[in-house]
Structure 1
Amino acid sequence: MKRDAVTCGGCVVSALGAVGAVWLWGTSDRTQRHLGNKFENNGQDLGAVLVELPRVVIVGTVLPGLVWGLGAWLLTRRRRSQAHG
């Protein structure tokens, strides 16, 4: 694989991970409960958004990128060992 393709793939995976994590977080019952999914927004807690949303975005971005990078590193390492051996 070319280095540019691997880098672009990692960026795409990270972006999709961030969007997917926010979507899953936003559709969960717990989040809906905190955002006031009750009658006339009783029980609305925007603190959950301020605390949880940045964490969700960071983990959704970093974790897929790390997995992608680890996979690319292992494939490159395997190819180098097969070429030399």
Structure 2
Amino acid sequence: MDGVTCGGCALSAAGAIAAPALWLSMPRTQRHLGGSFENEGMNLKVLFTELPFVVLGGALLPLLVFTLLVRWVGRRRSFHNGT
């Protein structure tokens, strides 16, 4: 395994951890999980409907950006080398 592959995996793992943490800190999510007055508006369905998409988005979006960046830098290097 090379450094680029390890970097992509590490970035994907960090995104999969950071995205739910950010999602949980949002006022809308806190309200749905019981953070409002006397649990008004509590809706635990968000754990099954939103949370999987948040984790997938957090893992895949940084990986996509990293992949595009690596390809772009690789093309610039091959262009400058004349190949």
Task: Give the TM-score, by structure 2 length.
Answer: 0.90
The aligned amino acid for 2:79 is: S
Distance 1:25 1:19 in 2: 10
Task: Supply the RMSD in Å over aligned alpha carbons.
Answer: 1.5
Structure 1 portions without partners, runs of 5+: none
Partner residue, 1:57: 55
Structure 1 residues 10-19 or 40-49, which shifts more? 40-49
CA offsets 1:33-63 (integer angstroms, 9 cap, x no match):
0001134434321111110000000111100
Corresponding position: 1:24 with 2:22: yes
CA offsets 1:48-82 (integer angstroms, 9 cap, x no match):
11100000001111000000000000111111111
Aligned pairs, how many? Answer: 83
Distance 1:42 1:83 in 2: 63
Distance 1:34 1:51 in 2: 12
The aligned amino acid for 1:46 is: L
Distance 1:70 1:39 in 2: 45
Structure 1 residues 62-71 or 31-40, which shifts more? 31-40
Distance 1:43 1:73 in 2: 46
SS at match of 1:35: helix
Identity within the alignment, %: 48
